[in-house]
Chain A
Amino acid sequence: MDLSYSIEKPDWVALTIVIEEIHEELAQSRRNLLYCLSNWFLAVTIFKRFEERQMVMGSPVSRDREYHRVNLTGILASGEKLLHELLKHVELDTRTVGIDLQDVQAAVEELRMSYAEWFSDMTPDRKKQILAEVFGVED
Protein backbone atom coordinates (compact mmCIF):
# COMPACT_ATOMS: atom_id res chain seq x y z
CA MET A 1 0.00 0.00 0.00
CA ASP A 2 1.13 3.52 -0.73
CA LEU A 3 1.72 5.18 2.65
CA SER A 4 3.18 8.33 1.16
CA TYR A 5 2.11 11.51 2.86
CA SER A 6 -0.78 13.35 1.28
CA ILE A 7 -1.35 16.98 2.16
CA GLU A 8 -5.07 16.73 1.36
CA LYS A 9 -5.94 13.71 3.45
CA PRO A 10 -3.12 12.73 5.78
CA ASP A 11 -5.56 11.20 8.26
CA TRP A 12 -6.09 7.81 6.59
CA VAL A 13 -2.34 7.28 6.48
CA ALA A 14 -1.96 8.13 10.18
CA LEU A 15 -4.81 5.80 11.07
CA THR A 16 -3.31 3.01 8.97
CA ILE A 17 -0.03 3.35 10.86
CA VAL A 18 -1.82 3.18 14.24
CA ILE A 19 -3.77 0.07 13.21
CA GLU A 20 -0.67 -1.63 11.81
CA GLU A 21 1.19 -0.88 15.06
CA ILE A 22 -1.58 -2.47 17.14
CA HIS A 23 -1.57 -5.48 14.82
CA GLU A 24 2.20 -5.78 15.16
CA GLU A 25 2.08 -5.56 18.95
CA LEU A 26 -0.55 -8.26 19.07
CA ALA A 27 1.35 -10.50 16.67
CA GLN A 28 4.55 -10.24 18.67
CA SER A 29 2.87 -10.26 22.10
CA ARG A 30 5.06 -7.32 23.05
CA ARG A 31 2.45 -5.88 25.39
CA ASN A 32 -0.11 -7.40 27.66
CA LEU A 33 -3.54 -8.10 26.27
CA LEU A 34 -5.42 -5.56 28.35
CA TYR A 35 -3.06 -2.81 27.22
CA CYS A 36 -3.66 -3.89 23.60
CA LEU A 37 -7.41 -3.96 24.24
CA SER A 38 -7.41 -0.33 25.42
CA ASN A 39 -5.35 0.71 22.40
CA TRP A 40 -7.65 -1.21 20.09
CA PHE A 41 -10.75 0.53 21.43
CA LEU A 42 -9.04 3.86 20.96
CA ALA A 43 -8.20 2.92 17.35
CA VAL A 44 -11.84 1.88 16.76
CA THR A 45 -13.00 5.28 18.04
CA ILE A 46 -10.60 7.11 15.73
CA PHE A 47 -11.54 4.88 12.80
CA LYS A 48 -15.24 5.59 13.31
CA ARG A 49 -14.59 9.33 13.39
CA PHE A 50 -12.72 9.14 10.08
CA GLU A 51 -15.42 6.94 8.65
CA GLU A 52 -18.10 9.43 9.60
CA ARG A 53 -16.17 12.40 8.26
CA GLN A 54 -14.94 10.90 5.00
CA MET A 55 -17.48 8.23 4.11
CA VAL A 56 -20.74 9.57 5.56
CA MET A 57 -20.58 13.36 5.84
CA GLY A 58 -18.09 13.86 2.99
CA SER A 59 -17.98 12.85 -0.63
CA PRO A 60 -15.62 9.91 -0.67
CA VAL A 61 -13.27 9.43 -3.61
CA SER A 62 -11.68 6.13 -4.54
CA ARG A 63 -8.70 6.76 -2.26
CA ASP A 64 -11.07 7.16 0.72
CA ARG A 65 -12.91 3.97 -0.19
CA GLU A 66 -9.67 2.07 -0.50
CA TYR A 67 -8.26 3.27 2.83
CA HIS A 68 -11.60 2.74 4.52
CA ARG A 69 -11.69 -0.87 3.41
CA VAL A 70 -8.04 -1.50 4.32
CA ASN A 71 -8.41 0.06 7.76
CA LEU A 72 -11.69 -1.66 8.52
CA THR A 73 -10.16 -5.00 7.55
CA GLY A 74 -7.09 -4.30 9.70
CA ILE A 75 -8.98 -3.20 12.78
CA LEU A 76 -11.38 -6.13 12.48
CA ALA A 77 -8.46 -8.58 12.19
CA SER A 78 -6.85 -7.13 15.34
CA GLY A 79 -10.18 -7.31 17.15
CA GLU A 80 -10.67 -10.96 16.17
CA LYS A 81 -7.16 -11.80 17.36
CA LEU A 82 -7.67 -9.92 20.64
CA LEU A 83 -10.98 -11.61 21.28
CA HIS A 84 -9.50 -15.03 20.50
CA GLU A 85 -6.67 -14.40 22.99
CA LEU A 86 -9.02 -13.03 25.66
CA LEU A 87 -11.25 -16.10 25.37
CA LYS A 88 -8.19 -18.33 25.78
CA HIS A 89 -6.86 -16.46 28.81
CA VAL A 90 -9.84 -16.74 31.12
CA GLU A 91 -7.73 -15.51 34.03
CA LEU A 92 -7.71 -12.03 32.50
CA ASP A 93 -10.56 -9.84 33.63
CA THR A 94 -11.31 -7.16 31.04
CA ARG A 95 -13.28 -5.28 33.69
CA THR A 96 -9.96 -4.10 35.13
CA VAL A 97 -9.76 -1.81 32.10
CA GLY A 98 -13.42 -0.84 32.47
CA ILE A 99 -15.05 -3.15 29.98
CA ASP A 100 -17.02 -6.35 30.14
CA LEU A 101 -16.00 -9.20 27.82
CA GLN A 102 -19.48 -9.26 26.28
CA ASP A 103 -18.96 -5.65 25.17
CA VAL A 104 -15.64 -6.60 23.53
CA GLN A 105 -17.49 -9.39 21.70
CA ALA A 106 -20.18 -6.93 20.66
CA ALA A 107 -17.61 -4.40 19.42
CA VAL A 108 -15.91 -7.05 17.25
CA GLU A 109 -19.29 -8.23 15.98
CA GLU A 110 -20.17 -4.62 15.12
CA LEU A 111 -17.08 -4.41 12.90
CA ARG A 112 -17.96 -7.71 11.18
CA MET A 113 -21.41 -6.31 10.59
CA SER A 114 -20.00 -3.02 9.35
CA TYR A 115 -17.79 -4.86 6.85
CA ALA A 116 -20.83 -6.76 5.59
CA GLU A 117 -22.84 -3.53 5.31
CA TRP A 118 -20.18 -1.69 3.32
CA PHE A 119 -18.67 -4.45 1.24
CA SER A 120 -21.06 -7.36 0.77
CA ASP A 121 -21.40 -8.54 -2.75
CA MET A 122 -25.14 -8.41 -3.43
CA THR A 123 -26.85 -7.76 -6.73
CA PRO A 124 -29.14 -4.69 -6.90
CA ASP A 125 -32.03 -7.03 -7.76
CA ARG A 126 -31.55 -9.11 -4.62
CA LYS A 127 -31.39 -5.94 -2.53
CA LYS A 128 -34.64 -4.68 -4.05
CA GLN A 129 -36.24 -8.06 -3.48
CA ILE A 130 -35.24 -8.06 0.23
CA LEU A 131 -36.50 -4.52 0.87
CA ALA A 132 -39.77 -5.26 -0.89
CA GLU A 133 -40.28 -8.58 0.88
CA VAL A 134 -39.35 -7.41 4.38
CA PHE A 135 -40.60 -3.81 4.45
CA GLY A 136 -42.72 -3.45 1.35
CA VAL A 137 -40.55 -0.58 0.11
CA GLU A 138 -38.67 0.12 -3.10
CA ASP A 139 -34.89 0.57 -3.08
Chain B
Amino acid sequence: MSRIELLEQILEARFDLDYAPRELKAECQRRLFSLVDKAIHGKNVSRYELLHSLHDRYVQYKRVRRKREKLSMSQRLRSQ
Protein backbone atom coordinates (compact mmCIF):
# COMPACT_ATOMS: atom_id res chain seq x y z
CA MET B 1 0.00 0.00 0.00
CA SER B 2 1.38 3.45 -0.91
CA ARG B 3 1.68 6.18 1.70
CA ILE B 4 -1.13 8.16 0.02
CA GLU B 5 -3.41 5.12 0.08
CA LEU B 6 -2.64 4.71 3.76
CA LEU B 7 -3.50 8.37 4.38
CA GLU B 8 -6.84 7.91 2.59
CA GLN B 9 -7.60 4.79 4.60
CA ILE B 10 -6.88 6.64 7.84
CA LEU B 11 -9.31 9.43 6.87
CA GLU B 12 -11.94 6.84 5.98
CA ALA B 13 -11.42 4.94 9.25
CA ARG B 14 -11.64 8.21 11.21
CA PHE B 15 -14.94 8.96 9.50
CA ASP B 16 -16.24 5.46 10.24
CA LEU B 17 -15.40 5.92 13.91
CA ASP B 18 -17.02 9.36 13.94
CA TYR B 19 -20.33 7.96 12.70
CA ALA B 20 -20.19 4.47 14.22
CA PRO B 21 -23.15 3.42 16.34
CA ARG B 22 -22.15 3.07 19.99
CA GLU B 23 -21.99 -0.72 19.82
CA LEU B 24 -19.33 -0.56 17.07
CA LYS B 25 -17.10 2.13 18.59
CA ALA B 26 -14.43 -0.24 19.91
CA GLU B 27 -14.19 -2.15 16.64
CA CYS B 28 -13.87 1.04 14.56
CA GLN B 29 -11.32 2.46 16.96
CA ARG B 30 -9.17 -0.67 16.71
CA ARG B 31 -9.17 -0.36 12.91
CA LEU B 32 -8.22 3.33 13.01
CA PHE B 33 -5.42 2.80 15.53
CA SER B 34 -4.05 -0.13 13.60
CA LEU B 35 -3.74 2.06 10.48
CA VAL B 36 -2.30 4.98 12.45
CA ASP B 37 0.23 2.68 14.14
CA LYS B 38 1.24 1.37 10.74
CA ALA B 39 1.81 4.94 9.51
CA ILE B 40 3.91 6.04 12.50
CA HIS B 41 5.86 2.80 12.86
CA GLY B 42 9.56 3.61 13.37
CA LYS B 43 8.90 7.36 13.44
CA ASN B 44 9.08 9.72 16.36
CA VAL B 45 5.38 10.66 16.12
CA SER B 46 2.53 9.77 18.49
CA ARG B 47 -0.99 8.72 17.46
CA TYR B 48 -2.46 12.02 18.64
CA GLU B 49 0.24 14.05 16.89
CA LEU B 50 -0.52 12.31 13.63
CA LEU B 51 -4.27 12.75 13.97
CA HIS B 52 -3.83 16.42 14.87
CA SER B 53 -1.63 16.91 11.81
CA LEU B 54 -4.32 15.34 9.65
CA HIS B 55 -7.18 17.28 11.23
CA ASP B 56 -7.60 19.97 8.55
CA ARG B 57 -7.63 17.29 5.87
CA TYR B 58 -10.10 15.26 7.89
CA VAL B 59 -12.49 18.21 8.31
CA GLN B 60 -12.36 18.77 4.55
CA TYR B 61 -12.88 15.05 3.87
CA LYS B 62 -15.85 14.92 6.26
CA ARG B 63 -17.42 18.04 4.72
CA VAL B 64 -17.21 16.64 1.18
CA ARG B 65 -18.42 13.19 2.17
CA ARG B 66 -21.37 14.45 4.24
CA LYS B 67 -22.42 16.82 1.44
CA ARG B 68 -22.27 13.93 -1.02
CA GLU B 69 -24.31 11.70 1.29
CA LYS B 70 -26.93 14.37 1.86
CA LEU B 71 -27.17 15.07 -1.86
CA SER B 72 -27.54 11.40 -2.67
CA MET B 73 -30.21 11.01 0.00
CA SER B 74 -32.23 13.95 -1.31
CA GLN B 75 -31.97 12.60 -4.87
CA ARG B 76 -33.23 9.22 -3.66
CA LEU B 77 -36.15 10.86 -1.85
CA ARG B 78 -37.06 12.92 -4.93
CA SER B 79 -37.03 9.84 -7.14
CA GLN B 80 -39.41 7.93 -4.84
Question: Could you tell me which A residues sit within 8 Å of B by CB distance?
Answer: 41, 48, 52, 55-57, 98-100, 102-103, 105-107, 109-110, 113, 116-118, 120, 122, 126-127, 130-131, 133-137, 139
CA distance A132 to B23 in the complex (A): 35
Q: Is the CB of B45 within 8 A of A135?
A: no
Secondary structure at the A interface, as helix, strand, loop or mixed, is helix
Give, as a whole number of angstroms, the nearest-CB distance from B61 to chain A. 10
Give chain B residues whose Cβ lies under 8 Å from the Cβ of A133: 43, 45
Q: Is the CB of A109 within 8 A of B49?
A: no
Total A-B pairs, Cβ < 8 A: 83
Neighbour of B23 across the interface among A48, A57, A98, A109, CB < 8 A: A98
Give, as a whole number of angstroms, the nearest-CB distance from B2 to chain A. 9
CA distance A37 to B6 in the complex (A): 35
Give chain B residues whose Cβ lies under 8 Å from the Cβ of A57: 63, 66-67
CA distance A99 to B22 in the complex (A): 7
CA distance A98 to B24 in the complex (A): 12
Q: Which residue of chain A lies nearest to B51 when distances are taken between CB atoms in the complex?
A: A117
Give chain A residues whose Cβ lies under 8 Å from the Cβ of B4: 135-137
Q: What are 9 A-B interface contacts by the 8 Å CB criterion?
A: A57-B67, A98-B23, A99-B23, A103-B22, A106-B26, A110-B29, A117-B52, A133-B43, A135-B39
Q: Is the CB of A134 within 8 A of B40?
A: yes
Q: Is the CB of B22 within 8 A of A107?
A: yes
Further pairs besides A107-B25, A134-B50, A137-B4: 13, Cβ < 8 Å: A52-B62, A56-B63, A57-B67, A98-B22, A102-B26, A106-B28, A110-B17, A117-B48, A127-B53, A130-B49, A133-B45, A134-B3, A137-B7
Give, as a whole number of angstroms, the nearest-CB distance from B18 to chain A. 7
Q: Is the CB of B53 within 8 A of A100?
A: no
CA distance A130 to B48 in the complex (A): 12
Give chain B residues whose Cβ lies under 8 Å from the Cβ of A127: 52-53
- Give the residue among B7, B24, B52 with the most A Cβ atoms within 10 A: B52
